[in-house]
Amino acid sequence: MKFIYTQKAWMGETRYVEITNLLVLAQSEAGKILKLPTSTLSKRWKEATCKRIWPYRKIMSLDTKITMMLKNIYTDEITEEVELMLNILLKKREYELRPATIRLY
């Protein structure tokens, strides 16, 4: 866990942390790593990302679709249609994993 920056607040210090690498985990697991209760992590996440939901389930769904598409390829050649669909799925996954920073305290 790497602190991004510290800001002096009215009553003390406020610390921010980059959590992009934790987005592939369930929120409860990410909370354990950050040593934050899940409810607090959820509040901080929504405050930092304009009410975005935690992307873990969406990422797992996209990963499953990508894996199934790759398993269903019978030859070494990927058709143009399959390649296009894989690119779309990978772009969606990349979008869900965009950088995020939350306030710890």
Confidence of residue 78 (pLDDT cuts 50, 70, 90): confident
pTM: 0.79
What integer pLDDT is reported at residue 11 of this predicted model?
58
Per-residue pLDDT, averaged over 99-103, amounts to 91
| Backbone phi, psi, residue 55, to 5° | -85, 5
